[in-house]
Structure 1
Amino acid sequence: MTNLKEEAVAKEKDADLKIKVEKREGEPTAAFKGASIAALLIGVLAYFIGLFNATMELNEKGYYFVVLIFGLYASVSLQKAVRDKEEGVPVTNIYYGLSWFALLIAILLMGIGLYNAGSIVLSEKGFYGMAFVLSIFAAITVQKNVRDTQKARNMD
């Protein structure tokens, strides 16, 4: 009878160890990773659906499309540069500065575009602004999660 109890306790400990091995220290939870990806998809899809349904000229739609793509790239690039610097990975000052500059320009271009858009009502301007901010923030979070997961798995 004692052996059965000892075996049950040992199996329970093995199950606990397997759970701990699957999620390593410093790795984001699956729920947080999923929420970040969902936020990115929702932000980008909402933005694109808004552009598709907008009554603005095609060149205006192209402007807002490029500003979003530029902003996503700039935010991920800046997150990588900041994280590299923090971890002691060499980052040139010019790349670091350009990353900040690119993100600020993307935000500025979005703001200027929305401010000067006479064909867009105020509620649509708010929609595009919020979808843009959600997408930028989510892209940074997804990049951070990818980096944290990779770092946690390479610690072995």
Structure 2
Amino acid sequence: MTDVRTHHQLGRPTAAFVGASWVALGLGASVYFIGLYNAQMALSEKGFYLAVFLLGLFAAISVQKAVRDRAEDVPVTGAYLGVAWGMLLVALALMSVGLWNADLLLSEKGFYGIGFAMSLFAVVAVQKNVRDLAAFRSVHPDPAPVEHPGYPTIG
């Protein structure tokens, strides 16, 4: 059986996947924030949607980290994992109930829902890439720059 830690350390995410993950997160968050900024709703409502969005992102990262830690035999308490999952479910429930009861067009509700879902997925992918790159670099550190006589060293 292959050691999970060895398996994760050998793979390096491609630049295309890393870039696509960051673009998806940036796009999802940007359209969500632009829509929220331009929305015709009370400031308290905007604050609610902003807080739920940020809670969801943080909870999704926490779940991804805790699940990955457990897979790599890094100690994670059941309480932390439970709170992470609980907060992710709370964020999803709050967003769903908030949008269900909001006085918005159906297209606007879909806009916020898709922006939220896209950002949750993307932040998990970004967190995974960050962790995979760190694991890869710990096994394969960058070589020291080679100095050539007569050429300046850059960096």
TM-score range, shorter chain: 0.7 to 0.9
Q: Which residue number in structure 1 is paired with residue 153 of structure 2?
A: none
Alignment of 1:1-156 (within 5 A): 25-118=10-103, 120-156=104-140
Give the deviation of 1:153 after TM superposition.
Answer: 1.1
Mapped to 1, the partners of 2:76 and 2:13 lie a distance apart of: 25
Letter in 2 for 1:81: A
Q: In percent, how many aligned pairs have the same letter? A: 55
Unaligned runs of 5+ in 2: 1-8, 141-155
Larger relative helix fraction: 1
Write the distance in 2 (CA, Å) between the matches of 1:54 and 1:140.
Answer: 27
**Whole-angstrom distance in 1 between the partners of 2:113 and 2:63:** 20
Amino acid corresponding to residue 118 of structure 2 in structure 1: L
RMSD: 1.0
In the alignment, the residues of structure 2 paired with residue 88 and residue 147 of structure 1 have an alpha-carbon distance, to the nearest angstrom, of 15
TM-score (norm 1): 0.83
Structure 1's unaligned 5+ residue stretches are: 1-23
AA aligned to 1:107 is L
1:37 partner amino acid? W
Please give the secondary structure, in 2, of the residue aligned with 1:154. Answer: helix
Q: Distance in 1 between matches of 2:35 and 2:119?
A: 14
Structure showing greater Rg: 1
What SS does the aligned partner of 1:60 have?
A: helix
